[in-house]
Structure 1
Amino acid sequence: MANRVIIVGGGGGGAILANLLQPHGFDVTVIDKSTSHFFQPGNLWIAFKGVSPEKFLRPIPSLLKKGVNYVNDEVVSVDLNERRVTTRSGRSYEYDFVVLASGAELDYSAVPGHRELLERFGDFYSSPENSLKLWNTLRGLKEGSFVIGVADPIYKCPPGPHKGAFLASELLRSRGLAGKVKVVLAVPVPHAYPSKTVADILEPELKERGVEIHTFFTVNEVDNRENRLVSLEGEDIKFNVAVVVPPHRGPSYNISPAEVKDQSSYVKIDKYTSNVQGFDDAYAIGDCTNAPTSKSGVTAHLQAEVVAARLLGYDARYSGRTNCPIITDGKGTFVISDYDHPPIKVRLSRFKRLMEDLFVATYWSAVKYPEFWSPIFKAYFDATDEFIRRGEGW
């Protein structure tokens, strides 16, 4: 009898893992409450360039290889001791291995006034619908300030707010509003980016484009009546339009035993193997975990490859490698690090912006056919790993 693998979540990590396992005789089932997979970086292109959301949406079944079972249902509990997954419809699924790949959850109720702000302006972070709302909001903005804030230091896609600031300044400049609408970036860390090495690259570029940077600013309240963001540190910033990256949490569905979740509901894992702590038949990958690395698509992808290899009997381990892209109006760079090395200095260049555009163009194929793309990605990671070991950029 084939090993039964239940994957909770049909996003990038979950779908890649399912497609890696399917050719090897596993009985793979993907459970997701959504019928569509959305390429999350696409939110930026919708919000600041007006690209149609349909470009970044695909039905989940279309991304899974033939033979992978897909269940459109919401998981409500995972019993790791009994090896059972239960869904909202009342179905129960027993497994030999389970992989939690359900992502992080955005908590718009954690900061007073935040949900109302989202309803007023939309954002470039939560959904295609809210990104489209922000696009329409910014089209009507003629003067004042557009503020991007962050409510908690731990959030998915660490360069997201910075990409938003760059793209917003490009949009305003293209509309002749560079001197009339100010872009403000407020972050809860000492520098423009959590890593000073990366901040030293980005800050001059942001300032060159007129972006005002506020550090040590953790959004603690949104005053929609006075149009101001209030920080945990005691400052406030006025806005005409604002977007705040919300606090994140791990999965809201019940996991037994409860101690495998931390205080923010993230699943505790071995950072190298992705095993849920205390269980050799349970894994968690991507944004739903407490792994000490960036919550990003690259992390989920590389963890999926490690879990697939381990289920096939290999002693694979994830190094904590990151490769988070940052784009400006014409250049790009990457945040490259691993568990043992901080981010290295990677200069901005037009070639790296082209690399990011090529990645976006190949994303859907890379999800469905990871066995084809993995050698290409591995060659890139092997080459740039040498820079990490030497502590040098490129």
Structure 2
Amino acid sequence: MERVVIIGGGGGGAILANLLPEEFKVTVVDKSEVHFFQPGNLWIAFKGVRKEKFLRPLRSLLKPRVEFVHDEVVSVDLNERVVKTASGKSLSYDYVVFASGAELDYGSVPGHRELLERFGDFYSTPENAEKLHASLRGLKEGRFVIGIADPVYKCPPGPHKAAFLSWEFFARRGLSDKVKVVLAVPVPHAYPSKTIADIIEPELNSRGIELHTFFTVNEVDVANKRIVSLEGEELSFDVAAVVPPHRGPSYAVNPAEVKDGSGYIKIDKYTSRVEGFDDAYAIGDCTNAPTSKSGVTAHLQAEVVAARLQGIDARYSGRTNCPLITDGKGLFVISDYDHPPIPVRLSKFKRLMEDFFVATYWSAVRSPELWSPIFRAYFEATDEFIRRGEGW
């Protein structure tokens, strides 16, 4: 039996582990025993949903044949084919897959950690999302500012979802004329893609959400309640949440050259193979692949790696399908390596589709072999829109 060690039991790692057949001895290593559905932070922060809805024991999401090691990885030696953990374990492998996600760096922006401790956020943990919900409930008038500290971050539509959902939060309490929602982005438009920006900017304007472009958070002054941008602009706030800079995994990897300057694992963007190694792969947010850091990316890369380990020449096209929701409608940011995001329209139906994907998440992770044909049919159908450059 070929030994496969998967570092990380998030969506990508767990799906890959469950897709591999019994011919493989699969081990998943993760420092947490709990799997958290990260988009759930938005529902906790802005709708007050209990965090338990988005938590499951990781062991319960893995097939019985998959071994789970609750431990923290401290090093990976790609030449010696061994993964070492904090407890002293040495796990030898025939194949290793990095699936540990991106790490959030709250220490690189002055004042950011203090801001997090004061108000919480919708980005890091369910506990911090609960703290932000409490902070917003206490805000009766003033400014709620959403900022971004670096253009590369998980879930590109996340801050925009936060803006729409927080506006709804205050509107339901009759405070939309007393609390101003402010969205500050580090790009020239409301969204990194001008095509998508043109669709959502009127929605922001119609709700009175204040938009600031070319605003990269560089410093947070919690005492004086102001955020300073790299470009020199300042924003005042009463409550604020900032998406932190990201970096690749902090554990050591030998040779060190397989990481880029930000610590991301360098891979072939089509096969997910680690540069220079035939027995190492990386999927999801921990890689330098030029596509969005999202759950869909990790899922599709997991399917590619599962196929390649079984001798099938599968390739990932760079396909994205990132949901962007307002308070009542939704759209999907659809693109691939060869095509920029296509123009799409907001609709109530797509908002329901997002709810459907959320509802099927746990089953899709636990039994990907059952859901993959359904998702594949959806992607194949919408790929036609990408080729034509038209939305739906």
Which bin holds the TM-score, normalised by the shorter protein?
Answer: over 0.9
The answer for the alignment partner of 1:12 in structure 2 is 11
Distance in 1 between residues matched to 2:315 and 2:65, nearest whole Å? 27
Flag structure 1 segments of 5+ consecutive residues without an equivalent.
Answer: none
The answer for the alignment partner of 1:298 in structure 2 is 296
CA deviations on 1:77-122 (whole Å, 9 max, x unpaired) are 0000000000000110000000000000000001000000000000
Q: Aligned partner of 1:98: which letter? A: V
- Asked if the contact 2:22/2:65 (under 8 Å) is kept, the reply is no
CA deviations on 1:121-160 (whole Å, 9 max, x unpaired) are 0000000000000000100001110000000000000000
The answer for the alignment partner of 1:227 in structure 2 is 225
The answer for the alignment partner of 1:283 in structure 2 is 281
1:261, CA displacement in angstroms?
Answer: 0.2
Distance in 2 between residues matched to 1:222 and 1:88, nearest whole Å? 34
1:330-341 aligned within 5 A: 330-341=328-339
Distance in 2 between residues matched to 1:327 and 1:225, nearest whole Å? 33
2:99 to 98, 101, 104: 101
Distance in 1 between residues matched to 2:139 and 2:371, nearest whole Å? 42
Q: Secondary structure at the match of 1:173?
A: helix
1:200-219 aligned within 5 A: 200-219=198-217
Q: Aligned partner of 1:390: which letter? A: R
Q: Aligned partner of 2:70: which letter? A: N
CA deviations on 1:285-311 (whole Å, 9 max, x unpaired) are 000000000000000000000000000
Q: Aligned partner of 2:342: which letter? A: I
1:82-231 aligned within 5 A: 82-231=80-229
Q: Aligned partner of 1:352: which letter? A: K
Distance in 2 between residues matched to 1:10 and 1:384, nearest whole Å? 29
The answer for the alignment partner of 2:314 in structure 1 is 316
Distance in 2 between residues matched to 1:110 and 1:263, nearest whole Å? 15
The answer for the alignment partner of 1:363 in structure 2 is 361
Distance in 1 between residues matched to 2:64 and 2:177, nearest whole Å? 54
Distance in 2 between residues matched to 1:24 and 1:236, nearest whole Å? 57
Q: Secondary structure at the match of 2:96?
A: strand
Distance in 2 between residues matched to 1:209 and 1:323, nearest whole Å? 25
1:30, CA displacement in angstroms?
Answer: 0.1
**After TM superposition, which residue ranges in structure 1, 4 or more long, deviate above 3 angstroms?**
none
Distance in 2 between residues matched to 1:309 and 1:257, nearest whole Å? 26
Q: Secondary structure at the match of 1:233?
A: coil
Distance in 2 between residues matched to 1:293 and 1:275, nearest whole Å? 15
Q: Secondary structure at the match of 1:48?
A: helix
Distance in 2 between residues matched to 1:92 and 1:116, nearest whole Å? 38
- Asked if the contact 2:41/2:123 (under 8 Å) is kept, the reply is yes
The answer for the alignment partner of 1:236 in structure 2 is 234
Distance in 1 between residues matched to 2:387 and 2:254, nearest whole Å? 40
Q: Aligned partner of 1:174: which letter? A: R
- Asked if the contact 2:77/2:253 (under 8 Å) is kept, the reply is yes
Q: Aligned partner of 1:366: which letter? A: A
1:187, CA displacement in angstroms?
Answer: 0.3
1:337, CA displacement in angstroms?
Answer: 0.2
The answer for the alignment partner of 2:343 in structure 1 is 345
The answer for the alignment partner of 2:57 in structure 1 is 59
**CA RMSD, Structure 1 to Structure 2 (Å):** 0.4
Distance in 2 between residues matched to 1:256 and 1:369, nearest whole Å? 34
Q: Secondary structure at the match of 2:292?
A: coil
The answer for the alignment partner of 1:25 in structure 2 is 23
The answer for the alignment partner of 2:266 in structure 1 is 268
Q: Aligned partner of 2:116: which letter? A: L
- TM-score using structure 2 length: 1.00
Q: Secondary structure at the match of 2:114?
A: helix
1:25, CA displacement in angstroms?
Answer: 1.3
Q: Secondary structure at the match of 1:29?
A: strand
Distance in 2 between residues matched to 1:140 and 1:293, nearest whole Å? 38
1:24, CA displacement in angstroms?
Answer: 3.7
Distance in 1 between residues matched to 2:23 and 2:252, nearest whole Å? 30
Distance in 1 between residues matched to 2:206 and 2:22, nearest whole Å? 52
Distance in 2 between residues matched to 1:273 and 1:280, nearest whole Å? 11
1:43 aligns with 2:29: no
1:253 aligns with 2:289: no
Count of residues in correspondence between the two structures: 392
- Asked if the contact 2:331/2:346 (under 8 Å) is kept, the reply is yes
1:59, CA displacement in angstroms?
Answer: 0.4
1:328 aligns with 2:322: no
Q: Secondary structure at the match of 1:89?
A: coil
- Asked if the contact 2:146/2:240 (under 8 Å) is kept, the reply is yes
Flag structure 2 segments of 5+ consecutive residues without an equivalent.
Answer: none
The answer for the alignment partner of 2:383 in structure 1 is 385
- Asked if the contact 2:323/2:333 (under 8 Å) is kept, the reply is yes
- Asked if the contact 2:3/2:94 (under 8 Å) is kept, the reply is yes
Distance in 2 between residues matched to 1:12 and 1:347, nearest whole Å? 28
2:77 to 61, 65, 79: 79
Q: Aligned partner of 1:371: which letter? A: E
Distance in 1 between residues matched to 2:68 and 2:218, nearest whole Å? 40
Distance in 2 between residues matched to 1:123 and 1:105, nearest whole Å? 15
- Asked if the contact 2:28/2:66 (under 8 Å) is kept, the reply is yes
- TM-score using structure 1 length: 0.99
